[in-house]
Amino acid sequence: MNTVEIKIDSKKGKISKELHGHFIEFLGSCIYDGIWVGEESKIPNYNGLRKDVVDALKRLQPPVIRWPGGCYADTYHWRNGIGPGNERPVTYNENFGTYELDSNQFGTHEFIRLCELTGARPWLNINMMTSGTEEMREWMEYCNREDETSLAKERKQNGAEKPFGVELWGIGNEVWAGGGCMTPESYANEYRKYASAFPNFISLENGGKPKTEMKRIASGPDGNKPKERVEWTKQFFQELGKFRRPPLDGYDLHFYNWNLENLEQKETEFDERDWDLVIKGCLELDEVIQEQAALIREGIEALPEEEGFFKTPKPDCDLIIGEWGNWHGAAFSNRPALYQQCTMRDAITTALTLDILHKNCESVKMACVAQTVNVLNSLFLTEGETCILTPNYDVFNMYKVHREGLGLETVGETSDKTFIFASEKEEGIFVNLINADMEKDQEIVIAFSDDVQYVSGQILESEDPHDCNTKEEPDKIREKTGRAPSRRENDFAVRLPKASIQVMHFVRK
Ligand code: AHR
């Protein structure tokens, strides 16, 4: 039996709660039906936002939600989504086979309300492709200006007396493809312009400091293209170093676990080989994060010191994974667009991905699952009055305990399908154990470097790894109380059922 030692005095970095973030966009039924049903709907709602989704999302305490895209941000005009609902223009969405009208009933106020109701920090992505710095700046003014400017008054007339205080702003989305087919050089130059055009919201009342700290998030590379992403990051930072530079707070890389070998294959139908490919695919993110974090550090170090009074300090730029999740081939032909059922396979890769983020918490500070509702790696599936929580929801819920904890070092051999992660905070030590084997149970001994006591545990498992939650069986896969491990001194022997995820809680004695 493999033994893994958890070094409880080996504190690694702090796990930013924002690694558990969300991404929503008008694609398929993510927004309309998934989040927004309108006040007149018979589906219970909070001023149009569906109650079942909001309430369940709130239980997860989502740290951040990114909107309006994604690709949709590249053609989104924020003015279309404010003011009385019946006066809002109707536009068209042709991204990823959505092919639907956008009534624009879900706009800035509705998004902010969703964030307020769930306690999330809003992240707005600006339209860099079919709009300009003026439209961006006006959106910022509308959202954040306290003084009585015309835009602030308009916000008040639309029902929001207080500014929204939106700090996180993405500048472009996937600019290497749908966001403008740019080169790293051309994007760096666009970035300079957009990042310089940010209002600063400095207030004399606030001692000359900004009332809202605006964070500029650059569009990073395509995380799925090994050569291209290295070159992209190198060249982006080189270009920034060529002349005076605006601030840069975040660098947003997207990583999808593409499962496109057979576009006809349903996401719920797979054999062990297919299962293993998807598991293996999601693990690549580990290397991507390490590689990109190192390139960002190198890129920043190589930036020349700026001279003079107005010099900008070298950026303290965080790596962000603004979109991640499984993308099965069937999603392209499924309806609504990009809709995917989520089986235990998706739950396992969700857990593995979150653990990769946890392990790399010194290098990556924020990440958003793509997407929260009805699209790709979702936590919710809705259809009219039905709302199902996928097993991915349970993973996010079980993993909440790691937020703001300190990662712990684990030493020892596991099988190549067993994964372990541990963190510690005031409440105790939390250990994740994943068995990514589709067929076989595993056993493992976890040994602690000090005296600890088992408190409790949760497990997510299902008899058949193809299982998923459906309208007929909405709770087929639900987290439940786990079995206590058997103890010998400071060693705990744990059984890991096939395709399962466990979180165990220990305290120091
Ligand atoms: O999440 C779906 C799409 O994937 C997003 O709109 C885009 O940014 C990415 O290519």
Decide if 489 is catalytic: no
Q: Is the pLDDT of residue 56 over 90?
A: yes
End residue of a domain, out of 349, 371, 393 = 371
Burial readout 427-446 (b: 16 or more C-beta within 10 A, e: otherwise): ebbbbbbbbbbbeeebebbb
Radius of gyration of the chain (CA): 23
To test the pocket of ligand 1, the residue of 26, 323, 374, 375 to mutate (highest count of ligand atoms within 8 Å of its CB) is 323
Q: Is the pLDDT of residue 383 over 90?
A: yes
Q: Is the pLDDT of residue 307 over 80?
A: no
Q: What per-residue confidence (pLDDT) applies to 344?
A: 98
Q: Is the pLDDT of residue 377 over 80?
A: yes
Question: Is residue 361 domain-shared with residue 419, that is, in the same domain?
Answer: no
303-to-239, 316, 399 alpha-carbon distances in Å: 9, 12, 38
The number of C-alpha atoms within 13 Å of 405 and in the hemisphere containing its C-beta is: 26
- Per residue in 401-425, pLDDT tens? 999 999 999 999 888 999 999 999 9
Lowest mean pLDDT among 100-104, 176-180, 446-450: 446-450
Decide if 403 is inside a domain: no
Burial readout 153-175 (b: 16 or more C-beta within 10 A, e: otherwise): ebbeeeebeebbebbbbbbbbbb
What is the pLDDT averaged over residues 376-390? 98
Find out whether 25 and 338 touch, Cβ atoms under 8 Å. no
Question: Is residue 197 domain-shared with residue 312, that is, in the same domain?
Answer: yes
- The CATH number assigned to the domain holding 128 equals 3.20.20.80
Q: Ligand 1 in contact with 428 (CB < 6 A)?
A: no
Task: Report the distance separating Cα 192 and Cα 121, nearest Å.
Answer: 25
Decide if 417 is inside a domain: yes
Lowest mean pLDDT among 3-17, 56-70, 270-284: 3-17
Decide if 489 is inside a domain: yes
Find out whether 21 and 66 touch, Cβ atoms under 8 Å. yes
Tell me the average pLDDT of the chain: 96
- The CATH number assigned to the domain holding 447 equals 2.60.40.1180
Decide if 146 is catalytic: no
**Closest atom of ligand 1 relative to the 173 alpha carbon:** 8
Q: Ligand 1 in contact with 71 (CB < 6 A)?
A: yes
* Residue 112 phi, psi dihedral angles, 5° rounding: -65, -40
Q: Is the pLDDT of residue 239 over 90?
A: yes
Decide if 57 is inside a domain: no
More confident residue, 212 or 306: 212
Ligand 1 centroid, distance to 71 Cα (angstroms): 6
Q: Which of 193, 187, 223, 215 is nearest to 295 (CA)?
A: 223
- Per residue in 120-166, pLDDT tens? 999 999 999 999 999 999 999 999 999 999 999 999 999 999 999 99
Question: Is residue 362 domain-shared with residue 493, that is, in the same domain?
Answer: no
Task: Report the distance separating Cα 256 and Cα 143, nearest Å.
Answer: 31
Closest protein CA for atom 6 of ligand 1: 70
Q: Ligand 1 in contact with 401 (CB < 6 A)?
A: no
What is the pLDDT averaged over residues 268-280? 97
What is the pLDDT averaged over residues 49-65? 98
Question: Is residue 151 domain-shared with residue 294, that is, in the same domain?
Answer: yes
Q: Ligand 1 in contact with 368 (CB < 6 A)?
A: no
Task: Report the distance separating Cα 387 and Cα 57, nearest Å.
Answer: 12
Residue 378: pLDDT band with limits 50, 70, 90: very high
Q: Is the pLDDT of residue 312 over 80?
A: no
In total, the chain counts a number of residues equal to: 509
Decide if 381 is inside a domain: no
Q: What per-residue confidence (pLDDT) applies to 124?
A: 98
The catalytic residue among 110, 138, 174, 239 is 174
Decide if 389 is inside a domain: no
More confident residue, 255 or 208: 255
Q: What per-residue confidence (pLDDT) applies to 244?
A: 87
Q: Is the pLDDT of residue 490 over 90?
A: no
Reported ipTM: 0.99
At 394, which helix (H) or strand (E)? helix 391-399
Question: Is residue 352 domain-shared with residue 419, that is, in the same domain?
Answer: no
Q: Ligand 1 in contact with 173 (CB < 6 A)?
A: yes
Q: Is 500 helix (H, G, I), strand (E, B) or coil?
A: strand
Residue 313: pLDDT band with limits 50, 70, 90: confident
Question: Is residue 357 domain-shared with residue 455, that is, in the same domain?
Answer: no
Residue 369: pLDDT band with limits 50, 70, 90: very high
Q: What per-residue confidence (pLDDT) applies to 305?
A: 84
Q: What per-residue confidence (pLDDT) applies to 233?
A: 98
What is the pLDDT averaged over residues 490-504? 96
Ligand 1 centroid, distance to 37 Cα (angstroms): 23
Q: CA torsion 211→215→216→219, rounded to 10°? A: -150
The amino acid sitting at 162 is K
Question: Is residue 223 domain-shared with residue 98, that is, in the same domain?
Answer: yes
The catalytic residue among 141, 323, 424, 479 is 323
Q: What per-residue confidence (pLDDT) applies to 11?
A: 82
Instruction: Please state, for a pLDDT cut of 90, what percent of the chain lies above it.
Output: 92
Question: Is residue 322 domain-shared with residue 431, that is, in the same domain?
Answer: no
Q: What per-residue confidence (pLDDT) applies to 296?
A: 97
Q: Ligand 1 in contact with 174 (CB < 6 A)?
A: yes
Q: What per-residue confidence (pLDDT) applies to 450?
A: 85
**Closest atom of ligand 1 relative to the 71 alpha carbon:** 6
Q: Is the pLDDT of residue 12 over 90?
A: no
The helix-helix angle for 150-157 and 133-144 (nearest 10°) equals 60
With a CB cutoff of 8 Å and minimum separation 6, the contacts of 328 are: 259, 265, 267, 340
Among all chains, which residue has been given the structure tokens 């973030």?
21
- Per residue in 453-469, pLDDT tens? 999 999 999 999 999 99
Q: Ligand 1 in contact with 24 (CB < 6 A)?
A: no
Closest protein CA for atom 9 of ligand 1: 70
Question: Is residue 334 domain-shared with residue 467, that is, in the same domain?
Answer: no
379-to-340, 415, 481 alpha-carbon distances in Å: 11, 29, 21
To test the pocket of ligand 1, the residue of 128, 254, 320 to mutate (highest count of ligand atoms within 8 Å of its CB) is 254
Q: Is the pLDDT of residue 360 over 90?
A: yes
Q: Domain residues for 462? A: 410-508
Question: Is residue 360 domain-shared with residue 416, that is, in the same domain?
Answer: no
Question: Is residue 130 domain-shared with residue 215, that is, in the same domain?
Answer: yes
Find out whether 229 and 221 touch, Cβ atoms under 8 Å. yes
On the 0-12 / 13-18 / 19+ scale of CB atoms within 10 A, 264 is: exposed
Residue 97: pLDDT band with limits 50, 70, 90: confident
Q: What per-residue confidence (pLDDT) applies to 308?
A: 74
Q: Is the pLDDT of residue 310 over 80?
A: no
Decide if 429 is inside a domain: yes
Decide if 93 is inside a domain: yes
Q: Ligand 1 in contact with 25 (CB < 6 A)?
A: yes
**Closest atom of ligand 1 relative to the 179 alpha carbon:** 8
- Per residue in 350-359, pLDDT tens? 999 999 999 9
Q: Is the pLDDT of residue 15 over 80?
A: yes
Which segments within 223-274 are labelled E, that is strand?
A: 250-259
Task: Report the distance separating Cα 391 and Cα 344, nearest Å.
Answer: 7
What is the pLDDT averaged over residues 199-221? 93
Question: Is residue 314 domain-shared with residue 446, that is, in the same domain?
Answer: no
Q: What is the count of structural domains for the chain? A: 2
Q: Is the pLDDT of residue 309 over 90?
A: no
